Amino acid sequence: MSGSDRETGQMEEMQDPPEGEGRRMLLGDGTFRFACHPGVACFTRCCHDADMYLYPYDIIRLKNNLGMTSEAFLMNHTTTALRDMPYFPNVMLNMSDRPGKPCAFLSAAGCAVYEDRPYACRAYPLEPAMSGEGEGPMRMDCFLVRHSHCRGHDEERSWTGRDWMADQQMEAYNDVNGRWARIAGRFRSNPFGPAGVDSPAMKMAFMASYNMDTFRRFVFDSSFLSRYDVPPERLDAIRNSETELLLLGFDWIFRFLFGEGPLRARCDA
Ligand code: SF4
Ligand code: SF4
């Protein structure tokens, strides 16, 4: 995905993948060559007609960049679809309906939300995959993706996966997305009862994952704080950081749907 100053690459020491659309292979400790900048012939090509997931932390970054509420951002810039989680909708970034379906954030100079561009745009041509069980650390495997239209793979600069993620400032995203992956894994089976994806519980979990302005009101303007034991120092952090609010949302989902995790109901405390 394109940014006016983004440098991104192609496989080098790794065995070259077969040509074709969207070839994907495990990067492991290998390196790849890549650079993305206004000089590549395909500049902004990938910012058209993209089928892109947005993750909870993406929404926070984007809606704040645009000065929108999370509600307005979700309404104006996203659609939901049941994709890899049969019991919980994925949030997808809308493309504009202009010719060629460019991303709504694509300007003549490149990405207009570059500092807060979504995780998928930062990571490309890598696709990090998180996995893990229980409370242990999440494992991240990086796959290298190669689309035939992407000329960034012809550039000289060489990267390890770790160097690439640091260059693209992915660390904060990796941390929150790892926690999200733990929840998303649980949504592959149905925790919502017979009403499934139409249940009120699903709507509450969706709100706590994607709609921070509404979730903030739910935390501070309902009986939430009399029902759950949130230490004062965590409450201060939540007041000052939507990322901390989101992490509370994740803990709350684990508590009210699965009866697990560090957030305790006051009657349990
Ligand atoms: S958010 Fe930016 S980098 Fe991502 S598709 Fe849109 S314009 Fe391209
Ligand atoms: S297709 Fe590849 S090189 Fe071209 S703009 Fe997109 S990421 Fe950059």
One-character DSSP codes across 88-114: S-EEEEPBPSSTT-BBTTEETTEETTG
Locate 40 and state its tokens.
Answer: 């590549």
Locate 42 and state its tokens.
Answer: 């395909």
Locate 254 and state its tokens.
Answer: 């684990």
Q: By percentage, how much of the chain surpasses pLDDT 90?
A: 82
Q: How confident is the model at residue 3 (pLDDT cuts 50, 70, 90)?
A: very low
Distance between CA atoms of residues 245 and 239, nearest Å: 8
Given the CA of residue 120, which atom of ligand 1 is nearest to it? 4
- Name 162's Cβ contacts closer than 8 Å, sequence gap at least 6: none
Statement: residue 188 has pLDDT above 90: no
Decide which of 269 and 92 is more confident.
Answer: 92
Statement: residue 243 has pLDDT above 60: yes
Residue in 47, 96, 150 to alter for ligand 1 test, most ligand atoms within 8 A of Cβ = 47
User: What is the distance in A from the centroid of ligand 2 to the CA of 151?
Assistant: 6
Q: Comparing 2-11, 34-43, 121-130, 167-176, which segment has the lowest mean pLDDT? A: 2-11
- Name 182's Cβ contacts closer than 8 Å, sequence gap at least 6: 132, 138, 250
Locate 200 and state its tokens.
Answer: 């009120």
Cβ of residue 157 lying under 6 Å from some atom of ligand 2: no
Cβ of residue 35 lying under 6 Å from some atom of ligand 2: no
Q: What is the pLDDT of residues 48-92, one digit of tens each?
A: 999 999 999 999 999 999 999 999 999 999 999 999 888 999 999
* Residue-level pLDDT at 136: 73
The Cα-based distances of 265 to 40, 193, 209, 218, 255 in angstroms read 55, 22, 19, 16, 8
* Residue-level pLDDT at 22: 72
Considering only CA atoms, which of 6, 44, 15 is closest in space to residue 155?
6
pTM above 0.85, yes or no: yes
